[in-house]
Structures are given as structure tokens and as C-alpha cells.
Structure 1
């Protein structure tokens, strides 16, 4: 039995995640599976699809979870090795709940579980994780009925076929595409999805290896893009794609090896959806560039701003009937994909736009990058609230407006420059994002704000 404090460290706002052998083991995962199944049975659900990534611990943990689900009388469909968006596809297409064993971009010693209900509806703190926590503290109620069954089902080809039906790439001009799978699940899904398309795929680190022998599977960190940047130029590729460990996020570099801002990708994909669905709503989180809402409005769409985090985006997608949603962290969400995020589907939209254009990617993307940005800068602080207030006080005379949707977003008077300071939910960190018309303005603001935060 674990205490609530121990569980709080592992069962977080959006998922379950921790160090294998310390925070997470087979017994804990078995009980978590039983608790999740108990909740689902009470809601009339009967089946859970279970997938796992390439981490060494994933097969054993997913098996233990299946045993827990079966112990509550629910059936399990084991889809085996899968990307996270492939598991979401299974939950959507098969109309059942899902559990994905992955720690995404975290180092090899970690693992975790992303849970969803039928139709890939996310399970977060308020929609199931807190209830699971309560049961793990009190003990999961026994089920005295029949045990559930386990079936095996490979959904990779169905997943690939479904994605290819959403973005038609057969008539693209031939493209050379370099892909860094970071020894993660992109090495599993890219060959299946791109099979038969007019792409010459140059593979980098496609071997599935959850010890990440080449670099961390976290393309949000610039150091993990270096190999792809060099490889793309060496191969003479038209575009480079970098996936994270569970391949639900995709980063893009152009033919010059330069990273393309996820905000620019948001704007491009939003424009494509507004051509398909005129006047539609598009969600963007508050850290994305102002280019995104500007282009949505210019293309006749309705931009809706939301907090950072997939549970907020997915909820807003459903509430607003939005066709697409994007985050600065390279999570992209699609109504056509059960409002779930898919790095592969975002990559396919960029490939489609490039394949329809006679311009290189660097030129194509220039129209979607109107401002300069700092990227997210983290600082460890003793008092998040007091430090945030110190920043607000320092800029009080230059502030046009402040909103508190997620942290504080400050619009500076007389300029298009803005910044956001927000606290991490899980660590003693403040996260800073700055955007301005020029790099000099960004650098100056970053230096001034960090001078206050890190004083």
C-alpha cells in the first residue's frame, strides 16, 4: 500500500510517470490497471486496448496492467509495440478505452502510462486519475465475477491507412525526407505510413532501443536536433523530421538544417484546415506566436486561446468543435483524429504543403514566421508567486495589459512584444517565453526578465 504523498509523485496531472523499480513496478501497475478497470466497468465499458513503447520495462509492465484489468472482468486488446498516437487510433477506431506504456521523452530509467477512454478521450486528474489514486490508497474493490480475456491485435497497417486517407500525398512531387526517430517509436511507424509514397526516406536512429544510445528522444531540447540538422544537409534532403520517444510530437528542420518553429507549423496546418473547413474554429495555446491567431483570423477562421497542456486543449477542442489545435511544444491535435494529438499527422500536412509548392521549405515557412521568439526558458526559484509579482512590478509602467489564463501574460505598451511567466505544476520552476518583432528586442527582454527571476 502506498501513501497519498507517494502516489502524488507518480500519478500526475495528465498521466502516470516515474522511475522503474523505485516509483513504478509490476505490482503498482497491476493495481493501477485494476483501479482503472473498476472505474470503466462502473461506466459500462468492457474493453481496454493496451500498447507500449520500446523501453526495456514496457512489455512486463503492460502485461501486469492487463492482468489488473482482467481481474476486474474487463477484456484487453494488446496492440503491442505502438506509438502513442497509434494507441489513440486504436481507442478511437475500436471504440474502447486505452492505456499506453511510455515515458515519452524522459530518460531510459523512466516509464509511465497515458490513459484514455473510448474515442481517445483523455483521462486526467479530475476525470479519473484522482479516483485511481483514492483506490490505490484504500485498496481496489474485489470483483467476484468472471475474469476478462486477452486478445492480440496489430493495428499498425490500419493506422497508416487511416492517416493516408486524411492527408493525400500520392500526388506530391518527389521529396527526400530525412527522419531522426531517436531510437523511438517513429522507427516503427514511419516505414508503415510512408510506404508507397513518393518520398526517399533517409533513416537516422530507426533501431528501437529504449536505452537511447544516440541522444535523448526529446527534440524540444536543441542539442537533440543537432544530428538531424547535420544529416539533413549532408543528405541533400528537402525536409528533416524529428520524433520524440513515443512519436506523438514531431519537430521539423528545413533543407538548410534550420529548425522550423512549432508555431509556424501550427499556422501552416491551421491554414490548410481552414481551406478545407471555411470559418472553422482553431485552438492555440497562449505560448504560441501571435502569428497563429493572426493567420487564423486572416484566413476566415475563429482563433481560440487556451492554457498549456493536452487535457485543456482536448477539452477546448470538443467544447468549441474545433478542427485543429496546436501548442508551442509541437503537440498538434486534430478533430479528424478524435481530437487527439499526432506528430505523424502534423508531419504529413507539412509534407503535403511542401509537395504542392515549388519553393524550398525555408522559403515556404517564411510567411508563417512574423516575429522572433525566445523559446521556453526555465529557472529554479524559491517562491514562484513572489518572483512572478516582482516581474510584474518591474514592468508595471510599460504594461498595456496582463492576463492570468495560465501564469501571467504581459502585453507591453506601444509594441507587439509580449512575455509569459508561468509556474511549473510539478517542479520549483518558472517558465519564461518572450516574443517581439526583432531578435534584439527579444534578447533585451529576456536579459531583463531573467535578471529579476534569477536575482
Structure 2
């Protein structure tokens, strides 16, 4: 029996092809997913990676073997797959490894209405059934084999998003868009066409080998081309998408990166104008400016753990109108509680285009505090290191602190906080720091370095 534990991660399937998995495994996953979901139909899409077409077709074959009719939408962004799942009311599977290097591929699953996997249809259940069937194949199905039909949903996806944020009537804007050779090269032209926008494209050619730079805008190194082009052409802003285009990152007219927390606050405030008093979700390492601005706008802020499964669960439980994470994932009730970088980008364009000032001025009111880029430590025992930090923190910082042990350890004092948590996807401890001043941020990180580094692996 195959051991698939190396490719099943906290939120999705992801691994090196063909070393860790291949089309035969993809077919098993399709059969297991369709069986567990009891699906009469499944929607399947894929990104531009060289292995994605073949592996997604194999998945579709597996799903059809268990009686599910497959709607194969081909090339799409992850939020394009969520759109298809929501609008067609089908469970879905998106073949992508997001920002990972070209040798990787993966699957992001959802249930009908873009809902996260849960209960008897969990990642763990899909893994277990696929492993069980790996030796002799699935048992004979009593259902007729399903059909696989191709369908293009790009135009419907673009029309849906454009109807949510109307850009007609805004002042003309020049925007540089870096697609990173990822799926935004397909979606941006469809969504932003015929609008008062002068779009300057960077790396719109679909190429899953990522010849220009990794499609991971969370790394500042991968924003350098965007920053240079914004400055070169005098653009009003720049937008970068990750490989599967479900996250967007923004730089202002100076080429300075806008913190995703500030975008959370901006979109939350705009959402609350449309839905007064609504609930807004934010994760525990988002800037404390976010709940402050939500409250000031008359909304109800609800804090949750890091990770899309936790945010989506809270969105559903509370009926929240919007949710945001520090990692540039933005979730919308009107988008089936799923995350979409494109809809977030439209909100930024509308907010900038309906007033006359530059983006740096607009965003200044949403960036109230200072933060450092996330620091990662590779340690042998994350739990032991967190316990050590907790036991020594009060003495090390020489001022009153409070502790919270939800998703790692959060230590808070007057004017600053930090969170140290195990990664859900890698063998790392992640440190996030925010304070009233940049100097204080650096001091806190230096203190944590002294505590954590002796235990580094």
C-alpha cells in the first residue's frame, strides 16, 4: 500500500513530480475524492505548469470512474476554480502548486460552493482511501462511468467580478501588473479589459517554469521588477499575483510595498460601507490596526488562527462579510467565502480611482504601526522552543507582558506584540513582530534571536 503522507499537507496536496507523485496517483485521488464526496459532478481546473494538464486529466478520469460527471474547465486561476465550484454548485479540484518551483504540483480541493473539506470528506479521508486503493485499484463501481465535458468559464468569471466592483467612472489609472508567468496572465486581460486603466503587463506569458522570477510576491526579491517598472513608467500603482493568482500584492506609486494588513483594513472599511455592522475576520498576526479600523467603521472584528481553513470556517460560522490574512489572502462572502486576489485588486483600483491623491497617501491611514518581514527559524523541537520563550520572556523584556497560546505563542505588551508559531506547511517556527516604532521591532526580534537561535537545527 502506498504511503502518500509526503504529499498531503495541512491544507492541500503538494509534492515533486514524478519523484513524490504522478498521474497514477492523481487518478487515485480523483476516484477517492468523488467517492467520499458522493459527487454526481465535479469541476476540475489546472494552472500553467507543464505537468498540470496531464495530471488534471488523470484526476478527471478517476472521478469519472466513480460515476461523477466532470466539468473540465482547463486553464484557470485558483479563484477561477472557486468561482466555478460556487456558480455551478459542484465540488472541485484545482491542480496547482501556487508559488512553489516548477518541479512541484498539487491539488486544492473544495466542496460544493467552494466550501473547505470537512467531516467525512477531509484531506485525511482522501489520503486514507487513495492509499487503500493504491495496491489493487478501486473496487468495481455500481454506477455508470461519468462523462468528461469541457467548459470555458473565464468570461463568466470576469463578468461576475466586474459586477462586484464597478470601475466605470473612476479617473484613468496607470497600473503595472506582474503576473510572474502565472495564471494572472490569463485572468487579468479578461477582467481589466475596456476599463479606464492603462495596464502595463509584466510576464503575462503562461510558463510554469517561471523563467523570470519565482511567482511568490511574498518575497520582496520577487517584487523588484515590478518596483522598477512602476518607477520607470510613472505608474499610479503596481500589482503582483502569485502563480495561481489567488493572492495579490500591491506597491504604491513610489514602488513601496503596501502591507497586506493595510489592504485588509481598506477592503474591510469599504465592505462595511456596503454592509453596515457586518462581521469581519482577521487572523492573529494581522496588524492590530485591522480590528481598530473595523471597530471604528462600525463592524465586528473576529480574530482567528492563521490558515485558510480556519478563516473559511469562521466566515461560515459568523456570516462574516469579509476576511483577510497577513499573507495577502482575502475572503469575500459574496465569493462563497473563498479567497480571490482579483476581487481584492479591484477594490484597491476603485478606492484609488475614486479620489485624486496618490496611493501612498490613501494607504497611510491604514498603516499605523511598524512590522518586520516574517522571520523563519528551523528548529529541532518547535514546542520546546516556544516553552522556553514563554518561561524567559517576562525577564528578557523587563516590562509587563501577557501571553496567549492560540496558534503558537503571542506575547503582548504596551506598544508591541510578537507571535511565534509552528508552520502548518514546513518544519519551521515563524516569528511576526509589530510595534509602535521600527526600532522597537528590531529590538524585539534581536531578543528572540538570542532565545531561539541556540536551538536551531
TM range (shorter): over 0.9
Q: How many angstroms does 1:379 deviate by?
A: 0.6
Using the size of structure 2 for normalisation, the TM-score is: 0.96
State the shift of 1:127 in Å.
4.1
| Residue 25 of structure 2, aligned match among 24, 28, 31 | 28
Q: Could you tell me which residue of structure 2 aligns to residue 233 of structure 1? A: 231
Check whether the contact 1:102–1:114 (CA below 8 A) recurs between aligned residues. Answer: yes
The answer to whether structure 1 residue 48 and structure 2 residue 45 are counterparts is no
CA distance, structure 2, for counterparts of residue 399 and residue 182 of structure 1: 45
Measured in 2, the distance between the counterparts of 1:102 and 1:125 equals 24
Please report how far the alpha carbon of residue 125 of structure 1 lies from its aligned counterpart in structure 2 after TM superposition.
8.5
Task: For residue 124 of structure 1, report the CA deviation from its aligned partner.
Answer: 5.9
CA positional deviation for 1:376? 1.1
Whole-angstrom distance in 1 between the partners of 2:230 and 2:140: 55
Distance (whole Å) between structure 2 residues aligned to residue 221 and residue 356 of structure 1 = 30
Three-state SS of the structure 2 residue aligned to 1:449 is helix
Question: Matches of 2:92 and 2:320 in 1, distance apart?
Answer: 23
Q: What corresponds to 1:223 in structure 2? A: 221
What secondary structure is seen at the aligned counterpart in 1 of 2:80? helix
Query: Does the 8 A contact of 1:14 with 1:124 survive in 2?
Result: no
Query: 1: CA distance between counterparts of 2:139 and 2:35?
Result: 8
1:248-327 equivalence runs, <5 A:
248-327=246-325
Residues 125 and 256 of structure 1, relative CA distance in 2, 3 Å threshold: farther
* Deviation (angstroms), 1:126: 7.0
Match of 2:78 in 1: 84
| Residue 361 (structure 1) aligns with | 359
1:199 paired with 2:193, answer: no
Match of 1:61 in 2: 55
User: Mapping of 1:105-184 within 5 angstroms?
Assistant: 105-123=99-117, 127-139=121-133, 140-184=138-182
Show the counterpart of 1:408: 409
Looking at structure 2, the residues matched to 343 and 222 of structure 1 have their Cα atoms a distance apart, in angstroms, of 18
Counterpart in 1 of 2:87?
93
Work out whether residues 14 and 123 of structure 1, in 8 Å CA contact, stay in contact via their aligned partners in 2: no
Whether the aligned pair in 2 keeps the contact of 1:407 and 1:421 (CA below 8 Å) is: yes
C-alpha deviation, 1:399, in angstroms: 4.1
Structure 2 Cα separation of the partners of residues 411 and 40 of structure 1: 43
* TM superposition shift of 1:393: 2.1
Alpha-carbon contact 1:13-1:125 (below 8 Å) kept = no
Contact 2:36/2:120 (CA < 8 Å) preserved in 1? Answer: no
1:15 aligns to what? 12
- Determine the C-alpha separation between the residues in 1 that align with 2:322 and 2:425: 28
In 2, Cα distance between equivalents of 1:71 and 1:77: 14
CA distances 1:67-90 after superposition (whole Å, capped 9, x unpaired): 000100100001010000001000
* 8 Å contact kept, 2:268–2:322: yes
1:258-280 deviations in Å (ceiling 9; x for gaps)? 00000000000000001111110
Q: Cα RMSD (Å) of the superposition?
A: 1.1
Q: Which runs of 5+ in 1 are unaligned?
A: none
Distance across 2 between alignment mates of 1:59 and 1:225: 28
- Name the stretch that deviates more: 423-432 or 249-258: 423-432
Q: Note the alpha carbon deviations across 1:233-254, whole angstroms, 9 max, x for none.
A: 1111101000000000000000
Distance in 1, matches of 2:440 and 2:290, equals 20
The Cα shift of 1:136 comes to 1.9
Change (3 A) 1:126 1:385: farther
Number of equivalences: 447
Secondary structure of 1:395's match? helix
Give distance in 2, aligned partners of 1:400 and 1:277. 36
| 2:332 counterpart residue number | 334
Number of the residue aligned with 2:435? 436
Gaps of 5+ in 2: none
The DSSP-based 3-state class of the residue aligned with 2:419 is: strand
